[in-house]
Amino acid sequence: MNIRTATRLPSLLFSVPTRSFSTSRCRFEHFHGADETTFSRVTSATKTNERVVLVDFYADWCGPCKALSPVLEKLAGDVETKTGSGRPIDLVTVDTDVHGSLAQKYQVRALPTVVAFRDGEPVKQFVGALPEGGVRKFLEEV
């Protein structure tokens, strides 16, 4: 290595192009089969102050629940889906056969029942398998 190369070497090291990556929060999170601890954490006021959390109370044996779940997942994951408050959506699914105490606490009497949480409080709910248009209308009212 001669003196010319040695003086150019530091400048060559710094001129190498670099890529930087950054991440942002996901459009939505899906907490499938949430237990009471996860449910409490996800529906808390700190978690729902900037988001709407939809809680889907379901059972594996429930036919209408199986019809509604893909609709909720599709809408929650769609960037174009808007709530009336303009907040993004997270989805929590609670198996009522496993976590019956949560279903009792929110007076779930039929399946599926979907409860929307905003600012740590349940603000609206619907019962039964709604078509996609019905769920969109529900989200506009939240």
Tokens standing for 52?
A: 């709407």
- Asked about 26 being catalytic, the answer comes back as no
Q: By C-alpha distance, which of 68, 58, 48, 133 is closest to 98?
A: 58
The C-alpha atoms of residue 90 and residue 26 are separated, in whole angstroms, by: 10
User: Among the options 34, 65, 116, 130, which is catalytic?
Assistant: 65
Q: Among 62, 102, 111, 114, which one carries the catalytic annotation?
A: 62
Is 62 catalytic? The answer is: yes
Residues with catalytic annotation?
A: 62, 65
